[in-house]
Chains A and B, each alone.
Chain A
Amino acid sequence: MPVSAWIMLGIGILILYGGLIICLLIASKRRGHA
């Protein structure tokens, strides 16, 4: 695969899964139902 494809793969993983993990970490600090 060309380098540009690897870069887009990295950007995709970073934004989607990185963002998701950050949001889940924020949510885990809250107690109760919410």
Chain B
Amino acid sequence: MRERWGSRLAFIMASLGCAVGLGNIWRFPYMCYTNGGGAFLIPYFIALLTAGIPLMILEFAVGRKTQGSPPLAYYKVNPKTEWLGWFANFGVMLIFFYYPVIMAWCLDYLFYSIKLQWGADPENFFNWSFLRKTHPLILGGLRPQVFIALIISWGLIYLSLFKGIKRLGQIVTYLMVVMWILITIMVIRGLTLRGSIEGLKFYLTPRFSVLKDPKVWLAAYGQIFFTLSLAMGSMIVYSSYLPERSDITNNAFIVSLGNCGFSFFAGFAVFSTLGYLATLRGCEVKDVVSGGFGLAFVTYPSAISKLPFGAPVFGVLFFLLLFIAGLTSAVSQVEPFTAGFSDRFGYNKNKVLALACGSAFLIASAVFSRQGGFYWLDIIDYFVCFFVITLVGLIECIVIGYVSKPSEWRKYINEVSEIKIGVWWDICIKIITPVILGVLFILQVINTIKNGYGGYPSSCLWVGFGVVCAILIASFLLMRVRRA
């Protein structure tokens, strides 16, 4: 008997927790700023409606109908496509090797916030005092504070998962409420700071001329695809725990809109604070704007240090928000992997979970928690996102759109859903989404071969390509192993 969510709310919250991650806070606002400000919302919403939501509906339908984790789900769709489920599972495995390391950094920074330990130069502190970066080819020594925080992070991931799906639903529901409260506090604090409106001006003022640039449209589709945690197997496995007659379409709309609503809201916290920082420094917002690690561990700590009152409190709240966002996503990365082996080979799920957590912790400690680990984290993240996840999404659309019949899937979806979908869904799955993902994939391959990535030595990039090829081969090999 398959496990079930305790309620519909638990499923929605868990899926929302899976989608809302660190990128919602540190990537979306930056993407918005660099791609035309408020004008970016136009391609973003179009991408949401033509690729994000249709693909989310597809993944919920595949999981709900097949009642299996990705390998079993794709086996049931067509036995020859089982490898796709394994490929997604191994891709997500690579993510959970490094993702908890970023959570560990947030946890360390949460404690550093108490005494604002990054001092007057957060950039110097992050690179040379905290991580003590070396070189991609020199792994260097283990960073003890990262290692200890990593133990806590993995401990919390394991504890959230080992009691099963019902308990996970309860935990994530609680964490999501805490996250919304925290982001609301950060937005209110940001908006009440001097110069905040200057920041919002940068965030929202549209530059419509950029809409002529195809790169902006590709960026919007890429952002939607990654922010919804699609093609990682997480949404498939979560929906496989839904009971009979569960809704598909409306749940997909709620999760997708909730996730994008969180990103949009987080933008106010980020840009109002950047506006404050620019006002204090007497420069323009564009001079302080940043995304990713730079925003979280350099720019934001700079702004926190300069808050008129309660700086440590807001520092703790900000890094707690990042940590929780990471935790709710990390559990959704481990679940499809453990469920994949358990469904396919009949192994005890808790044993697979303990083994997965233990080995991922060891690999993370051996590589990503070291001085040179930052570079490898960046390289693996790049290869998994652009070469594994994009490829899985593309083939997923081809499998459902061409190998099986999308009209039959649509009929199944409409039988159980509150919102009925029309032929537009078939068009999105058969044409729009695969074309966009195909273009994204090809451009990224050409760009990486031509220009490399991030200035890393080519040997590092070949390791990245090698890892992608290795998990692809492993996926085909596992497909041939006898079923349980």
Interface residues of A (CB under 8 A from B): 1-2, 4-9, 11-12, 15-17, 19-20, 23-24, 26-27, 29-30, 33-34
Contact = CB atoms under 8 A, between A and B. Distances in A.
A16 B38 contact: no
5 contacts: A5-B201, A8-B204, A11-B41, A23-B253, A27-B250
A5 to B, nearest CB: 4
Given A26-B419, A33-B246, 6 more contacts: A1-B204, A8-B206, A16-B260, A17-B257, A20-B258, A20-B261
A17 B163 CA distance: 34
A29 B472 CA distance: 45
B247 interface: yes
Contacts of A29: 418
Nearest to A11: B41
B38 A17 contact: no
A27 B38 contact: no
B470 interface: no
Shortest 7 CB-CB contacts between residues of A and residues of B: A8-B38, A5-B204, A16-B261, A20-B257, A5-B205, A23-B253, A23-B254
Given A20-B257, A23-B250, A23-B254, A8 B39 contact: yes
A2 B253 CA distance: 31
A5 B257 CA distance: 21
A26 B250 contact: yes
Contacts of B37: 5, 8
A8 B253 contact: no
Contacts of A12: 38, 41, 264
Given A16-B264, A20-B257, A20-B261, A9 B204 contact: yes
A32 to B, nearest CB: 8
Contact of A26 (B205, B206, B257, B418): B418
Interface residues of B, number: 29
Interface string B405-431: 000000000000011000000000000
B7 A33 contact: yes
Interface of B: 5, 7-8, 37-39, 41, 45, 197, 200-201, 204-206, 243, 245-247, 250-251, 253-254, 257-258, 260-261, 264, 418-419
A23 B257 contact: yes
A11 B43 CA distance: 13
Contact of B243 (A6, A27, A33): A33
Interface of A is mostly: helix
Contact of B38 (A5, A15, A19, A24): A5
B247 A4 contact: no
B227 to A, nearest CB: 13
B120 to A, nearest CB: 32
A23 to B, nearest CB: 5
A6 B204 CA distance: 8
Contacts of A26: 250, 418-419
A1 to B, nearest CB: 5
Contacts of A27: 8, 247, 250-251, 254, 418
Nearest to A27: B250
A7 to B, nearest CB: 8
B257 to A, nearest CB: 4
Contacts of A34: 8, 245-247
Contacts of B250: 23, 26-27
A24 B204 CA distance: 27
Contacts of A9: 38, 204
A20 B250 CA distance: 10
A16 B8 CA distance: 21
A16 to B, nearest CB: 4
